[in-house]
Amino acid sequence: MITKLHSSRPLSLRAFSTSPISLANRAIIFPKAGNPADVLQAQTYPSLPPPTPHSINVRYRFSPINPADINVIEGKYPAKPTQVNDLAGFKFDNGGVFVGGNEGLAVVTEVGESVEGLKKGDRVVMSKPQSGTWRSASALDVKDVMKVPDEASDGFAATMTVNLATAYNMLNDFVDLKEGDWVIQNGANSAVGQAVIQIAAHRGLKTLNFVRNRKNFDELKSQLTNLGATQVITYDELAPDSFKDLRSKVQQWTGGNPIRLFLNCVSGPTTTSLLRLLGKDAHLVSYGAMSKEPLSMPTSLFIFKNLTCHGFWQSRWYEDATEEEKRELVEKLVGLKLKEAEHEVLTIPAGDSDGVATEKVRDVVRKLAKGQYGKKVLLNIEQPVD
């Protein structure tokens, strides 16, 4: 079963892009940072050798294409995937390549020595950021995966380790929130924002959700309300002539209880205005800056209202967490019994040449860049015929 290319036969990227080689596996790789529609390439590679001790071989089932994955490929993201010089013995020259993808659901196909708690057929998700999930199969260290409980659907499990985990941890790690407590968030219709709404509702927390005004605001409002949003408001109400009214409304909704957590993925002036709705001892947790503007804050908020500001990055969370904390996170996320994120699966069929597969992947990232996908795209890379 193990097809290993002779190590004295290195192939340059140029070589395989013009003459595709059909092998047991396929990965979506990029030789260097750039426009994903230009640099992404499908690349077949051999079957995996048996796993080394403490390792497992896995077969990827669904690997999401997340917006941050695109930023990684563009070289605009602080986290870089590890450069690989070979894939299961298939060598790359020119310093190696990167495999795309951060998140993914995989099935254990083979278990190495000294592996405990995982067996063939178990489903796992990644706890090591940027491990390169856009491939059909991979060898992984057991400490870089988390076992998925049986009750989780494939679609849910494949998409829970980034956005859902971010939402869950931000609601958990900074303020000890009790049932009935209020949380403010902006960018409330983002993937994380929607997860925040659902998890908060599940915990009995109230959410004050800010979004941009738009033609179909009422539609968006009822969509978010159906997910569990307590209030949905546009940034327009932060304008000087309506702020006082807004403050009264908030006062009424909260019964005057101080709002102690604000989740921010926007920054810029609207975020500064929103700070005025916070109570004493509040925490601002930033996980994005969609406005591409900085956060500007009056110093008095820190000194006299005891505001604390943090950032949140799920990748760092995984780096810092213990095995036990990671296991617990997965169990909690699955235990929430949320609906799967809306998604569609992009299958790269076994029979496609690397050239055809390359075009399919480039086409989808081109569409994603133009915002032509409403749904999350999950890659399903079939194993090409060897």
Shortest separation between residue 202's beta carbon and a copy of itself, angstroms: 25
Q: Which is nearer to a copy of itself, 114 or 306 (CB)?
A: 306
Q: Which is nearer to a copy of itself, 230 or 286 (CB)?
A: 286
Shortest separation between residue 71's beta carbon and a copy of itself, angstroms: 12
Tokens describing residue 28: 């979506």
Beta strand pairing call for 283-286 and 261-264: parallel
Spot the catalytic one: 77, 168, 287, 318: 77
Among 296, 323, 342, 349, binds a copy of itself (CB under 8 A): 296
Among 301, 321, 350, 369, binds a copy of itself (CB under 8 A): 301
Shortest separation between residue 310's beta carbon and a copy of itself, angstroms: 5
Alpha-carbon Rg of the chain, whole angstroms?
23
CA distances from 220 to 41, 92, 192, 343 (A): 37, 48, 15, 18
Q: Any contact of residue 319 with a copy of itself (CB under 8 A)? A: no
Q: Any contact of residue 312 with a copy of itself (CB under 8 A)? A: yes
Q: Any contact of residue 272 with a copy of itself (CB under 8 A)? A: yes
CA angle 203, 280, 242 (to 5 degrees): 85
Q: Which is nearer to a copy of itself, 78 or 240 (CB)?
A: 78
- In the block, residue with structure tokens 């001790």: 53
Among 4, 316, 339, 375, binds a copy of itself (CB under 8 A): 316
**How many other CB atoms sit within 10 Å of the CB of residue 47?**
17
Q: Any contact of residue 298 with a copy of itself (CB under 8 A)? A: yes
Shortest separation between residue 152's beta carbon and a copy of itself, angstroms: 28
| 1: β partners | none
- Convert residues 70-99 into a mask of x (bound to a copy of itself by CB under 8 A) and - (unbound): --------x---------------------
Q: Which is nearer to a copy of itself, 153 or 308 (CB)?
A: 308
Q: Which is nearer to a copy of itself, 104 or 187 (CB)?
A: 187
Q: How far apart are CA 131 and CA 56, in angstroms?
A: 14
Shortest separation between residue 264's beta carbon and a copy of itself, angstroms: 8
Q: How far apart are CA 173 and CA 196, in angstroms?
A: 13
Q: At what angle do helices 67-74 and 354-369 cross, to 10 degrees?
A: 110
H or E element in which residue 317 lies? helix 314-320
- Number of residues in contact with a copy of itself under rule CB under 8 A: 29
Q: E strands within 34-168?
A: 41-45, 55-65, 86-87, 90-91, 98-99, 105-111, 123-126, 137-141, 145-147
Among 300, 324, 370, 371, binds a copy of itself (CB under 8 A): 300
Contact yes or no for 110/137 (Cβ under 8 A): no
Q: How far apart are CA 195 and CA 167, in angstroms?
A: 6
Residue 60 is a catalytic residue: no
Residues binding a copy of itself (CB under 8 A) = 78, 264, 267, 272, 286-289, 294-313, 316
Q: Which residues are catalytic?
A: 77
